[in-house]
Amino acid sequence: MSFYEPDKIVCNGSLFRLFITKEQIDKRVAALAEQVNSDYKDKKPIFIGVLNGAFIFLADLMRHVSIPCEVDFIKLSSYGDDKVSTGHVTELKELDADVEGRHVILIEDIIDTGLSMKYMVDRIQEKNPASVSVLTLLHKPDATKHFVNIDYVGFQIPTHFVLGYGMDYAQEGRNLAQIYVIDDVT
């Protein structure tokens, strides 16, 4: 199988360079799934992925999950087509699953200001789940504006714009197999 994994990439006029390799991602994703396997044994968790960004990460994560589980998606938008958050969340697709009494694991590609995840946690809590935890591949701790408790983190990264492995710049670049960082940082 071949993946799309160049060292540098121009996306919508901005240059990005390789930041987290496919091997590093695969290893971390498998380790996160192992933690879920042991923490949620006998709990049949439901993963709720935040579209669009989390679709590739969640698909890979689930293939390492060996306990009974379910999946559903919600679609939010906070970025528009820019590199900075618009500061408000729009719900573009609501949740279909009934999560009352369920153990919910919210899945994000990246937590930046925390706005989207705070919105998610608040929305899910209203539905009386048995528990809610947060699992994100990437976290930019220095960008936090809205605090949320994060239970599982793949990688903590500096506050720079990243691309690939599901994450986009103006909707492009999601198909990159590795994670890239904008190249205006030294």
Residues 30-89 that bind Mg ion (CB under 5 A): 50, 53
55 binds, among ligand IMP, Mg ion, none (CB under 5 to 8 A by kind): none
- Only segment of 12-20, 26-34, 59-67, 109-117 that touches ligand IMP (CB under 6 A): 109-117
Q: Choose among 36, 42, 103, 97: nearest CA to 63.
A: 36
Buried b (16+ CB within 10 A) or exposed e, 90-106: eeeeebeeebeebbbbb
- Only segment of 6-14, 21-29, 92-100, 107-115 that touches ligand IMP (CB under 6 A): 107-115
As a whole number of angstroms, the distance between CA 32 and CA 13 comes to: 34
Binding of ligand IMP by 135 (CB under 6 A): no
85 binds, among ligand IMP, Mg ion, none (CB under 5 to 8 A by kind): ligand IMP
Which residues make Cβ contacts (< 8 Å) with residue 57, sequence separation at least 6?
A: 29, 49, 107, 109, 137, 165, 166
Environment class of 18 (CB within 10 Å of its CB; exposed 0-12, middle 13-18, buried 19+): middle
Binding of ligand IMP by 179 (CB under 6 A): no
Binding of ligand IMP by 114 (CB under 6 A): yes
Q: In this complex, which beta carbon is closest to ligand IMP, that of residue 104 or of residue 181?
A: 181
Binding of ligand IMP by 107 (CB under 6 A): no
Peptide bond between residue 52 and the one before it cis (omega within 30 degrees of 0): yes
CA dist 36 → 22, 120, 151 (Å): 21, 20, 10
Binding of ligand IMP by 162 (CB under 6 A): yes
| Binding-site ranges for ligand IMP (CB under 6 A) | 50, 53, 78-79, 85, 108-117, 161-162, 167
| Binding-site ranges for Mg ion (CB under 5 A) | 50, 53
